[in-house]
Amino acid sequence: MVVTSAPPDLQHLDQSWQKRLETLLAAGRSAGADLVEVFLERTDHLGVLAEQDGITSVSPAFGMGAGLRVFRGLRDGFVSTNDLSEGGLLEALDQALGMLGLMRSSAGLSGFEGLAPLRDHASTKTDWLERCPDLAQATARLLEGTAVLERHGQHLQVRRGSYARDWQEVLVAASDGTFARDVRLHQSLGLNVLAADGEHRSSIGRRYGSHGRPEQLQQWDADASAREVCESAGAMLYADYVEAGQMPAVLANRFGGVIFHEACGHLLETTQVERGTTPFAEKVGEPIAHEAVTAIDEGLSDGAFGSLAMDDEGMEPQRTVLIENGVLKRFLSDRAGELRTGHARTGSGRRQSHAFAAASRMRNTYIAAGPHTPADLITSVDRGLYCKSMGGGSVGPTGQFNFAVEEGYLIENGQLTKPVKGATLIGEAREVMPRISMCANDLDLAAGFCGSVSGSVFVTVGQPHIKVDSITVGGR
C-alpha cells in the first residue's frame, strides 16, 4: 500500500503546502542546485475609475501562481507558472534547473533537512479582505469625491477619481529552511482635475495610499482632499511661465521625496552594483551628500504604502540607514545581491508578483528630518523656486534626472510670491546630493509605485522640506 499525504489547500497558502514544497526543494538540491526558492501567491484586485459624475471602469482581477528560482554559484535560473499541481511545479523546477545545466534525478543526496516551523505573519489578517469596501461602497465614495471636486473647483473641464484595492497572500519556502507566510493589503485613492479658462490650463493630481488598513476608503476625508486639489489647480491656472536658469530651490515635504527615490535611491540598490551602473559602488564610508542629509529605507512604518511584515524572500524588514550625515553607510540588498556583491541582505527582496524574480528594491525611503522650520529654508533664499508639488519625470541609469514641478512659486527676498508653471528640475544625483544644505523638521510620507527589474511595487517616498543650494531649472 502506498501512503500519500493530503494535497495542499488551493484556497489557502498555509501549512498544508509543507510536504509538497519540501519534496520540490529536495529535488532541486539533489540536482546540484546550491539553493532553491519557491514563491507562491494568491491575489485579488479591484480597480474603479470615476469620471465626472459616472463610473467609467471597473476592473476586477484574480490570480494564483508560483515563481521558482534556483542558484548555483553566482548564477540563477527563474521560471514562473500558474500550474500549482505537483506535476506543474516539478516541470517548472526542471526548466529552472535546465537554465543552469542541471537535471533532476532520483539519485544523489539533497543536503536539505526540511523547512523550519512556519513563520505566519498572516494570522491576524485573515479578515482584511472582507473588511474592505465592496464595489457598491467604493463607487459611492468615488462619486462623492468627484462631486466635491465640482463644488470646490472653478473652470474644471475634467474631474476624475480612482480607487484600487490589492490583496495578496504569499508563501515563501527555500532550501535554507525559510518558510514564511503573509497577507498584504494595499489601497490607493486618486483625485485629478483639469482646469481650463481660455488659453489657460492647469492639471493637478493627488494620490493617497495605505497598507494594512481595510477601512481607509470609509474613513477618507473626501472634502479635504478635493479642497487641496482644487486650491492647487486654481493657483496654477493663471500662473506665468518660469524663467530658466541656475538657482536655489526649496522642495516641499511628502512627494518631494520622489527625486531622492528616483535619482539616488535606485543607485543604492545592489541591483545597480551588479550592473555596474551606480557611481557609489565603492563609496561606502565616504561622503556622497551634504552633512545635513541622513537617508533611511525601512519597511516598518505603520500603514505606510511600502511597509511589509516580510519581504518576498521571506526575510523580515529592518530599518536601513543608507546615508548618515552625508556619509554612505549601506546598500539595499536581496538574496542575489548578497551573493554577487557581498552586501548583506536588508529585507529588501521584492517583486510585483510570482511572474518576477525578487530583486533589491526600496520600501519606505526618505530623507530624515532636520533642525530647521520650513520658513527658515524659504527666508534663506534671496531669489529661487519653491516646489510645492512634484509631477512626473525621468531618470537615467546613473542618476541623471528631470522632474516637472506640478505646483511652484517664486521665492523673492525670502518670501513666496507669484505662482509659476512649466518648471523642470534637471540634475544628477552626484551633483545635487552635496547641495542639499538644509532639512526642515516636518518629515512626511507619500504613497507611490516604483517600476524596476522585478516589476511595479508599492513604495513610500518622503522627506521634510529641503533646500538645494543650486539646481538647473528648465523653463521658458
User: Mean pLDDT across the stretch 347-370?
Assistant: 98
Residue 107 pLDDT class (50, 70, 90 cuts): low
Q: What is the pLDDT of residue 392?
A: 83
User: Mean pLDDT across the stretch 371-396?
Assistant: 95
**Are the CB atoms for 284 and 290 separated by under 8 Å?**
no
Q: What is the pLDDT of residue 10?
A: 77
Q: What is the pLDDT of residue 290?
A: 97
pLDDT digits (tens, 9 = 90+) for 188-219: 999 999 999 999 999 999 999 999 999 999 99
User: Mean pLDDT across the stretch 321-343?
Assistant: 98
Percent of the chain with pLDDT strictly greater than 90: 93
For the ranges 11-15, 168-172, 209-213, the lowest mean pLDDT is seen at 11-15
Residue 2 pLDDT class (50, 70, 90 cuts): very low
**Are the CB atoms for 297 and 318 separated by under 8 Å?**
no
Compute the distance between CA of residue 210 and CA of residue 37 in angstroms, rounded to an integer: 29
Residue 1 has pLDDT above 50, yes or no: no
Q: Scan for cell 535554507, then name that residue.
A: 176
Mean pLDDT score of the chain? 95
Compute the distance between CA of residue 403 and CA of residue 87 in angstroms, rounded to an integer: 49
Residue 419 has pLDDT above 80, yes or no: yes
Residue 102 has pLDDT above 90, yes or no: yes
The bridge status of strand 424-428 relative to strand 466-474 is antiparallel
Q: What is the pLDDT of residue 24?
A: 96
Q: What is the pLDDT of residue 3?
A: 37
Residue 171 has pLDDT above 90, yes or no: yes
Choose among 245, 258, 242, 247: nearest CA to 468.
Answer: 247
Domains and CATH numbers, the chain: 128-171+180-239 (3.30.160), 245-474 (no CATH)
Q: pTM score, two decimals?
A: 0.95
Q: What is the pLDDT of residue 394?
A: 86
Give me the count of residues in the chain: 476
Compute the distance between CA of residue 131 and CA of residue 185 in angstroms, rounded to an integer: 11
Residue 37 has pLDDT above 50, yes or no: yes
Q: What is the pLDDT of residue 11?
A: 82
Q: Can you give the C-alpha Rg of the chain in angstroms?
A: 24
User: Mean pLDDT across the stretch 70-91?
Assistant: 97
User: Mean pLDDT across the stretch 116-132?
Assistant: 96
Beta bridge partners, 328, equal 323
pLDDT digits (tens, 9 = 90+) for 47-61: 999 999 999 999 999
